[in-house]
């Protein structure tokens, strides 16, 4: 039985990954941060209560990371913990860098010292590309990375330090460069789930309007459940390497909003207010990933379409709010 250690196990991706690994007979361990309202902390993994082992831990507590890796001796380490909200990274840049950059270094050091034969997955992000783009309008593994946020800068440090540790110490350490990925488990301050929750609330008479920021940003949106499968495939490849994970299709926030409101029989323009507080000091206008490498080398393909995913999210909020 393989053992996996997941940082960020209680998050959207951590919960789908834990579910997937349990289904593949892994013994799954993960850390959660101490929170003053413990009832909310493990909501996304409450259905796995008897199937996974959770511990208090923090990316900025290297002693705990070392102790846990020394105790568990995992075969696979998935570093998914992060301050994951890009706009909020402008409000708390120091915390974002400590968690998303220094935290990765802390975990790599614990890995190198306590279980160097394990395999290490780093949750790298398309936000690292920022305004970098190839001439054909795609971002892929070799595209220049010019991040536009503290979040993107911190993730770029982690991406490079993982490559550096791989080469310097001959470790199995890989990056998945994941484009946006969503699900009903997405936090409701990310744009897809914010729009879905608001549209359903408006339909049910619980809310009057929605406030958004940049409607003309384009994103490549896939389903988290598909993307955690890619993480596991990346770690089970014969060599450590870096892979873009994306759908290859891009849509604007406006298109996404129109799809959701149309689906439930409303016109988004009747309910939309633009509020500058949702804009970022530097915007990232356009993301579209080329996942050819992971298609060809590992045989990964997404299974859920954008439309199926958004409808799953709409159904989720309809059930919850009714």
Active site residues: 125, 127, 151
By rule CB under 6 A, what count of residues binds ligand G4F?
Answer: 21
Work out which of 100, 143, 174, 180 binds ligand G4F, going by CB under 6 A: 180
Q: How far apart are CA 188 and CA 13, in angstroms?
A: 15
Helices (H) and strands (E) in the chain, counts: 12, 13
The SS3 of residue 133 is coil
| Token pair for 299 | 């045989």
Closest CB 282 distance from ligand G4F, rounded Å = 11
| Contact positions with ligand G4F (CB under 6 A) in 41-100 | 84, 86-87
**Which residue lies nearer to ligand G4F by CB, 55 or 190?**
190
Instruction: CB nearer to ligand G4F: give 200 or 217.
Output: 217
Binding mask 126-155 for ligand G4F (x = CB under 6 A): xx----------------------------
CB of 182 to ligand G4F, least distance (A): 8
Give the residue with the Cβ less far from ligand G4F, 30 or 152: 152
Least distance between ligand G4F and beta carbon 305 (Å): 19
In the block, residue with structure tokens 């490559």: 163
Q: In terms of C-beta distances under 8 Å and separation of at least 24 residues, what long-range contacts does 59-62 make, across chains too? A: 59/7, 59/98, 59/99, 59/102, 59/103, 59/104, 59/106, 59/107, 60/98, 60/99, 60/102, 60/103, 60/106, 61/106, 62/106, 62/109, 62/110
104 binds ligand G4F (CB under 6 A): no
Q: How far apart are CA 63 and CA 99, in angstroms?
A: 15
Kindly give the pairing relationship between strand 172-178 and strand 272-274: unpaired
Contact between 168 and ligand G4F per CB under 6 A:
no
Q: What are phi and psi of 310, to 5 degrees?
A: -65, -35
Q: Please, what is the minimum distance in Å from the beta carbon of residue 27 to ligand G4F?
A: 28
Footprint of ligand G4F on 202-221 (CB under 6 A): 212-214, 217, 219
Cα–Cα distance, 267 to 130 (Å, whole number): 32
Closest distance to ligand G4F from the beta carbon of 175 (Å)? 13
Residue 231 or 287 with smaller CB distance to ligand G4F: 287
- Let me know if 111 is exposed, middle or buried by CB neighbors in 10 A (0-12, 13-18, 19+): buried
How are beta strands 222-223 and 181-182 bridged, if at all? Answer: parallel
Q: Which is nearer to ligand G4F, 6 or 253 (CB)?
A: 253
Least distance in Å: CB of 280 to ligand G4F? 6
Stretch 285-304 residues interacting with ligand G4F (CB under 6 A): 287
Binding site for ligand G4F (CB under 6 A): 84, 86-87, 125-127, 179-180, 189-191, 194, 212-214, 217, 219, 253, 278, 280, 287
């Amino acid at each position: 039985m393989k053992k996996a250690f997941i940082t960020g196990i209680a998050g959207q991706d951590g919960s789908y990954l834990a579910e997937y690994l349990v289904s593949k007979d892994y013994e799954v361990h993960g850390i959660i941060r101490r929170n003053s309202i413990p009832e909310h902390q493990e909501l996304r993994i409450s259905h796995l209560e008897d199937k996974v082992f959770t511990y208090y831990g923090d990316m900025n507590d290297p002693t705990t990371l070392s102790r846990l890796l020394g105790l568990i001796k995992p075969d696979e380490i998935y570093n998914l913990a992060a301050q994951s909200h890009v706009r909020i990274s402008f409000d708390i840049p120091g915390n974002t860098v400590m968690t998303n950059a220094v935290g990765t270094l802390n975990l790599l050091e614990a890995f190198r010292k306590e279980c160097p034969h394990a395999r290490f997955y780093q949750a790298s992000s398309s936000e690292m590309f920022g305004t970098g783009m190839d001439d054909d309008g795609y971002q892929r593994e070799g595209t220049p990375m010019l991040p536009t946020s503290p979040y993107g800068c911190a993730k770029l440090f982690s991406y490079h330090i993982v490559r550096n540790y791989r080469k310097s110490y001959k470790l199995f350490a890989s990056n998945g460069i994941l484009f946006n990925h969503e699900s009903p488990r997405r936090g409701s301050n990310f744009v897809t789930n914010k729009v879905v929750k608001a549209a359903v609330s408006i339909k049910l008479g619980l809310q009057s309007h929605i406030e958004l920021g940049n409607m003309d940003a384009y994103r490549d949106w896939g389903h988290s459940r598909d993307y955690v499968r890619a993480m596991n495939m990346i770690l089970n490849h014969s060599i450590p390497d870096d892979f873009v994970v994306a759908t290859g299709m891009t849509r604007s926030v406006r298109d996404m909003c129109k799809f959701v409101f149309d689906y439930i029989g409303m016109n988004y323009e009747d309910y939309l207010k633009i509020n500058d507080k949702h804009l970022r000091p530097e915007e990232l206008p356009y993301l579209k990933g080329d996942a050819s490498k992971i298609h060809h080398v590992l045989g990964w393909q997404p299974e859920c379409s954008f439309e199926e995913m958004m409808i799953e999210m709409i159904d989720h909020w309809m059930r919850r709010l009714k």
